[in-house]
Structure 1
Amino acid sequence: MGALRLVGWLVLSALAPGAAHLKAGWRRTGLTLLGCYAAALLGLLAVVLTIGDLRVAVGTLVSDAWLTVILVVTALLGVAWFALIVHSFTVLRPGRLRQAEQIVTGALAGLVAVSVLAPFAVASQYVWTGRETLNEIFKNPGTDPLAQGDGQVPAEDPWAGRERVNILLLGGDADDHRPGVRTDSMHLASVDVKTGNTVLFSLPRNLENVRFRPGTPMAERFPDGFRLPPDPGGGRSDLLNSVWEYSDAHPEIFGGRRNMGPEVLMDTIGYTLGLEVDWYALVNMWGFARLIDAIGGVTLTVEQDVIFGKYNEGLVKAGTRRLKGADAMWYARSRTNSDDYTRMRRQRCVISALLDQADPATVLTRFTAIAGATRELIQTDIPRDMLTHLVPLALKVQDAKVTSIQFVPPLIKTYDPDWREMRRLVRRSLRESGSTTPVAASATPEATATPDRTKTPKKKGRDRPSATDLAEGCGQA
């Protein structure tokens, strides 16, 4: 057998294990290898054909147990395939070739063996990285509020009869020079578990006189709403974005319990909107810039020049182009020549662009960088086990209707909000999204304590706009 034929049979053996053994006269071994390979392919095809919902399958595969199985199987297959190529080269008896041909074919055999091993090595790295990232970000099982008495989520109905799941999405700007966490971006995503239709409720950072659920420690401390004396510099530390920070800084209110900020803010926003918040996810806004860089930037239409910086030295120019993470964040967060409500709209536009542009191909090719950025980006109380159900739901949201309602002027008065009207708008938005009623609503207008103030006329309230498409207004001055 010549050198070219030997290499050809070796390559064929990489695609059809056992081919080289059959050529070399190892009939029983070759047929066994080909039979096992064919059986494996048929088994894989059967699994693919029996998958009812690909999203559910993806959700199952992100469980810790399945990721571990995939990691072990992938590593073993890589080693086995590498060994197969080496053994195939040996049985083809390269020693019968001339010395120069032996050197060349040996080098080519090594290249084929490494080429076969490389995909398995990359896949193993991705699985390992993904598994470690998920285990670092998400809590251990046993803390799931949807679980039954035995602590397990019912497989037949992971949502325990709920029609919607409500997740609080927060953006914080904590850094080394600022104590505590200020949640300057607050959005509650209410997702229909059947259709994936989602309503994103955006709350302004400067919402005043925030009310707390009756009977809670914060309600006892602030029976007439969240109100503190002005700061020495004239600023305010009693706005909605300060609830987390204030709760963390005053454990005495909660009998000495610390780190109550997330729980208090979830309950407060849930009470404000008349919904029960299931979980929260806090994103470090400047870590968010790293995530945008990890996916290669995000394409945005900047309506007009956005100036930023302590001395207005920075500029994000108007126009449609791909922005790096830092520029995208300055576009979303700059206060120069802008108000909070314009910033909220720009933040919503960045979220919308990410949903559209973070496609599976991009995520796969930049997986390691994305995973690294995500580890430092997210703080959440979502249980690890719930990812099996939340991942399919998130994939469903990408193809579903996503609308948004922003509680900003003139829809509400941030200094004197009409809490009853806000809850009515929430219910209306959920109905229009495809749900009949908000699930597990924590309060109704009749049962909710409403501040004693002049109400917005009921008739006028019913003429207010309902939820809009998430990308509406993006790219417009």
Structure 2
Amino acid sequence: MSSSGAPDVPAPNAPAPDVPARTAAALIGWVALSVVLPGAAHLRGGWWRTGALLLGSYLTTVVCLIAIFTGADAGLAGRALNWLTQMSLAAAVCGAAWFCLVIHSFLVLRPGTLPRGGQIVTGAVCGFLAVVVAAPFALAAQYLSVSQRTLDTVFTGDGANGQGRDPWAGRDRVNVLLLGGDWGEGRVGVRTDSINVASVDLRTGKALLLGLPRNLEHVPFPPGSPMALRFPYGFELPESRPGWREDLLFSVWQYADDHPELFGGRRHMGAETLKETIGYILGIRVDWYALVNIWGFAKIIDALGGLVLTVDRDIVFGKYDEGVVRAGTRRLSGAEALWYARSRTYSDDYNRMRRQRCVFGALLRQADPRAVLGRFTEIASVARRIVRTDIPRPMLEHLVPLAWKVKHAEVTSLQFVPPLISTAYPDWERIRLLAAKAVRQSVREPDGPSHPRLRPGPTPEPASGPIDEGCGAL
């Protein structure tokens, strides 16, 4: 009672004197409850207005997030790539706010009313709880920041496409040249040992993988191009030493890089030249390329936990044939998967192409999001060092939903290897006809007619098959 006889009225936001946490266990329980229901401890401690504001804001945010994620699709994931910096900052702010929330929840419950031992125990537990609660936000902020740096480093291609209302400019397919190279210390230039074009139907996500041998001879170049003017009868060079050929398909990139005088002094024309050359060989337009250093590829596979593959026979490798990947079905390490895909000992380029296709298929099937998240920083660091591409950064917004379609659609493959074609004297017209037929087959509905814009091709041979055809059977 006051001196005037009127009862005391607490301040609107002052803690009520009769509702302290009675025991250390109760205090810890209320603080823990505040982690999932912010404001609960404040309400218990008599901070009615603050508690109601915290709880109401939290529930409103949860409802909004549920509504967003309920209607979310791969398109939203693609658009989110444009907000990585803001999302990283928001995660950091949320982590700091939740940390402060736990500490303040502890304080409003008046731990000073507990015995000294209880104060020490509850303070330590609640401090640990604050760190544990903030850690996921800090980790998310780190992942988002790493993602931003990785994307900005890898996707440096120029171009305004991706900004308009129709990023595909009315097209119904997109073609990406997928290359495996071996640049690095101790090696001069880039040799593109693995050459495939992923042709993807934009509507269905059905993908066709067109593979070309690295040892194609007499490679033709688009009429009127600098390389065609230099090699009007196909890519032919004198032997650098007896039996040593440098005028095969895998050398086109490096030859263009080594001869800027062919391009009016412009340097680093290898990628663009190879794109135009592959497009001309297959009779398609190649939109972009992605080049992966195959020696760093093994680290990616290791980070994913390896690949389960069925090796149909022992694969010997090494300078002196000292290594072997044994036949059988098991999980291969990155190094084993790499040698399985690359070795030509007691084999040839065409069997190697088949094995590379098997590795592609295994990656498509076995990529585990949990493994990616668990080794995310390591994978991102490796990716920045081993991947080159000219895909513009703004196009990622549209490629992410397309990749989601590909993940859940049929992937077929056509490999241009003997006896289908001769690598020494390729029939270029036949290659184009088979590629066109494979594209028509890839857009055909399971039980329906071909795409209405396409007509049946003139070649009777089956054009393509599943990407894992020939894989997995002992």
For normalisation by structure 2, the TM-score amounts to 0.91
C-alpha distance in 2, partners of 1:348/1:288? 15
Query: Aligned-pair distance for 1:178?
Result: 2.0
Query: Aligned-pair distance for 1:275?
Result: 0.5
| C-alpha contact (below 8 Å) 1:212/1:268 kept by paired residues | yes
| C-alpha contact (below 8 Å) 2:208/2:442 kept by paired residues | yes
- In the other structure, the counterpart of 1:452 is none
Whether 1:154 aligns to 2:164 is: yes
Unaligned runs of 5+ in 1: 442-457
C-alpha distance in 2, partners of 1:438/1:281? 31
Whether 1:5 aligns to 2:26 is: yes
| AA in 2 matched with 1:128 | S
Which of 79, 88, 93 is the aligned partner of 1:60?
Answer: 79
- In the other structure, the counterpart of 1:186 is 195
| C-alpha contact (below 8 Å) 2:220/2:228 kept by paired residues | yes
184-193 or 367-376: bigger deviation: 367-376
Whether 1:143 aligns to 2:169 is: no
Query: Aligned-pair distance for 1:369?
Result: 1.9
- The equivalences for 1:193-272 within 5 A come to 193-272=202-281
Whether 1:43 aligns to 2:64 is: yes
- In the other structure, the counterpart of 1:352 is 361
1:394-436 C-alpha deviation (Å, 9 max, x unpaired): 1110100100000000110111111111111111111111166
| AA in 1 matched with 2:466 | D
- In the other structure, the counterpart of 1:134 is 151
Whether 1:475 aligns to 2:472 is: yes
- The equivalences for 1:457-472 within 5 A come to 462-472=459-469
1:237-290 C-alpha deviation (Å, 9 max, x unpaired): 000001001111111111111111000000000000000100000010101111
- In the other structure, the counterpart of 2:39 is 18
1:365-420 C-alpha deviation (Å, 9 max, x unpaired): 22122112211121000001100001111111010010000000011011111111
| C-alpha contact (below 8 Å) 1:427/1:437 kept by paired residues | no
- The equivalences for 1:33-432 within 5 A come to 33-51=54-72, 54-63=73-82, 66-139=83-156, 142-144=158-160, 147=161, 153-155=163-165, 157-432=166-441
C-alpha distance in 1, partners of 2:353/2:270? 22
Change over 3 Å in CA distance of 1:104–1:236 after alignment to 2: same
DSSP-derived class of the 1:474 partner: coil
C-alpha distance in 2, partners of 1:273/1:90? 71
Query: Aligned-pair distance for 1:233?
Result: 3.6
Change over 3 Å in CA distance of 1:438–1:210 after alignment to 2: farther
Change over 3 Å in CA distance of 1:214–1:437 after alignment to 2: farther
C-alpha distance in 1, partners of 2:349/2:258? 25
| C-alpha contact (below 8 Å) 1:207/1:414 kept by paired residues | yes
C-alpha distance in 2, partners of 1:171/1:391? 22
| AA in 2 matched with 1:89 | F
420-429 or 368-377: bigger deviation: 368-377
Query: Aligned-pair distance for 1:217?
Result: 0.6
Aligned structure 1 segments of 4 or more residues deviating by more than 4 angstroms: 435-439
C-alpha distance in 2, partners of 1:417/1:233? 23
C-alpha distance in 1, partners of 2:329/2:278? 35
C-alpha distance in 1, partners of 2:242/2:154? 37
| C-alpha contact (below 8 Å) 1:209/1:226 kept by paired residues | yes
| C-alpha contact (below 8 Å) 1:165/1:278 kept by paired residues | yes
- In the other structure, the counterpart of 1:454 is none
| C-alpha contact (below 8 Å) 1:202/1:405 kept by paired residues | yes
C-alpha distance in 2, partners of 1:366/1:469? 30
C-alpha distance in 1, partners of 2:408/2:352? 26
C-alpha distance in 1, partners of 2:92/2:113? 34
C-alpha distance in 1, partners of 2:360/2:451? 26
1:191-217 C-alpha deviation (Å, 9 max, x unpaired): 001100000000000101110000001
| C-alpha contact (below 8 Å) 1:164/1:438 kept by paired residues | no
C-alpha distance in 2, partners of 1:319/1:26? 67
| C-alpha contact (below 8 Å) 2:303/2:371 kept by paired residues | no
For normalisation by structure 1, the TM-score amounts to 0.91
C-alpha distance in 1, partners of 2:388/2:107? 53
| C-alpha contact (below 8 Å) 1:430/1:437 kept by paired residues | no
Query: Aligned-pair distance for 1:154?
Result: 1.7
Query: Aligned-pair distance for 1:437?
Result: 7.9
Change over 3 Å in CA distance of 1:267–1:437 after alignment to 2: farther
DSSP-derived class of the 2:156 partner: coil
Query: Aligned-pair distance for 1:174?
Result: 1.9
What is the percent sequence identity of the aligned residues?
Answer: 56
DSSP-derived class of the 2:137 partner: helix
C-alpha distance in 2, partners of 1:203/1:13? 61
CA RMSD of aligned residues (A): 1.7
Whether 1:29 aligns to 2:45 is: no
Query: Aligned-pair distance for 1:463?
Result: 3.4
| AA in 2 matched with 1:205 | R
Larger gyration radius, structure 1 or structure 2: 2
C-alpha distance in 2, partners of 1:25/1:280? 63
C-alpha distance in 2, partners of 1:101/1:475? 63
Q: How many residues align?
A: 446
Unaligned runs of 5+ in 2: 1-21, 445-449
Query: Aligned-pair distance for 1:475?
Result: 2.6
| C-alpha contact (below 8 Å) 2:205/2:405 kept by paired residues | yes
Query: Aligned-pair distance for 1:438?
Result: 13
| C-alpha contact (below 8 Å) 2:253/2:274 kept by paired residues | yes
241-250 or 430-439: bigger deviation: 430-439
1:72-91 C-alpha deviation (Å, 9 max, x unpaired): 11111110010011111011
| AA in 2 matched with 1:374 | A
| AA in 2 matched with 1:332 | A
- In the other structure, the counterpart of 1:455 is none
